[in-house]
Amino acid sequence: MLKKPKILVVGSFVMDLIVSTEKFPGSGETVLGKSFRTAPGGKGANQAVQAARLGADVTMVGKVGDDGFGRELIASAKAAGIHTEHILVDPDTSSAVGNILLEVSEGQKSKNRIIVVSGANMKITPEEVAFLKEEIASYDMVVLQLEISMEINEIVAGYAFEKGVPVMLNSAPSAPLSDELLSHLAYISPNEHEAADLTGVTIRSDKQNGVNMDDVKSAVRALLDKGIKNAIITLGSNGAVVASAQDFAYASCVDVVEVKDPTAAGDSFVAAFVTGLCAGLTHQQALDFASYTATITVSRMGAQPSLPTLNEVIDLMEREQFGGFDLAMLAPLRQ
């Protein structure tokens, strides 16, 4: 019997400043852009919003600046139904911003380049998350990323591990991870580039043959050898895998939309996987659910504005005649 999951996200808030252009400028080059917009983002907030839109009961812990961007970021979280009482406001530091450059060319998939200025995200203190030492036991899953300080991630992961609560680390952006942090993870979810940084295994792919699955399996084994119980590797247009010592599941990319903006696709995928898993789906079922969710995300512009609702995901799965599991199983998420 599936259930409504209760998820804690500790992570970042970022206001995205999005410029689209037909051509990325080279060093010292100036090009004319096509458009500019702002959108609430940040890997932590994106994942929290996506999980909430899919029906999870989500609490967010993070920090913003005492500024207009900060107020807008909190408002976006509230609008998604997230519990925001543990979002902190720093009066002395600005909210984080993300400078997103989109290359949009006729007949080509959009590409992006992102620079994040961390601002208040790096100002969370150990004292400000100490309340989680006991409260964390009430959650089904804790979700972390690497846009806040490593110290805070390690503290929160330690609290969760002590209480037997599984931890998902979306290991992005890429950074070295301590053995202690790795030992506290139930799940890790790098993309193929981040997996290579963690394991030294390059995952090769080409247009003719797709991804080299032997490389993927080698990278997975290397992650599991670090003491992590389950490893997810997202492979862009080549799909995604999830594996433990006992099983290996693969889902192909659901290539049924025009890719307009890949921003937040990874966040959408991770949040959907966690939501499905905590609701009671198997690894394969959660992987499929996440693939359809992320597909909708890349068909829209912006980070949080692109994240779909549960009904939108189910509608797409029905339209594409998905048969991997009975979609009626997702009914508890509608409650």
Residue 257 belongs to a domain with what CATH number? Answer: 3.40.1190.20
> In angstroms, what CA-CA distances link 188 with 181, 195, 308?
11, 10, 23
- Rg of the Cα atoms in the chain: 19
The partner residues of 14 in beta bridges, in order of sequence, read 41, 96
Active-site hit among 16, 57, 90, 267:
267
Q: Does the residue 29 lie in any domain?
A: no
Kindly state whether residue 330 falls inside one of the protein's structural domains.
yes
The whole-model pTM stands at 0.93
For residue 39, is it within any domain? no
Angle 109-12-308 from CA coordinates, rounded to 5°:
45
| Distance, CA of 273 to CA of 281 (rounded, Å) | 9
* Residue 206 known to be catalytic: no
Question: Is residue 72 assigned to a domain?
Answer: no
13-68 per-position pLDDT tens digit: 999 999 999 999 999 999 999 999 999 999 999 999 999 999 999 999 999 999 99
In the chain, the DSSP E strands lie at 6-10, 14-21, 33-41, 57-65, 87-90, 96-103, 111-117, 141-144, 167-169, 187-188, 205-206, 210-211, 230-234, 240-243, 248-251
Query: How far out from the chain centre does Cα 2 lie?
Result: 22
The answer to whether residue 184 is domain-embedded is yes
Residue 60 resides in a domain:
yes
Q: Determine the residue type at 73.
A: L
- What residue numbers bound the domain in which 169 lies? 6-12+44-67+79-86+122-334
Q: What's the total number of domains in the chain?
A: 1
Distance CA 131, CA 34 (A): 46
Ordered per-residue pLDDT tens for the chain, 335 residues: 588 999 999 999 999 999 999 999 999 999 999 999 999 999 999 999 999 999 999 999 999 999 999 999 999 999 999 999 999 999 999 999 999 898 987 777 778 888 989 999 999 999 999 999 999 999 999 999 999 999 999 999 999 999 999 999 999 999 999 999 999 999 999 999 999 999 999 999 988 888 999 999 999 999 999 999 999 999 998 999 999 999 999 999 998 888 888 889 999 999 999 999 999 999 999 999 999 999 999 999 888 999 999 999 999 999 999 999 999 999 889 87
Looking at the domain assignment, is residue 105 inside a domain? Answer: no
Phi, psi (deg, nearest 5) at residue 45: -65, -40
Q: Kindly state whether residue 115 falls inside one of the protein's structural domains.
A: no
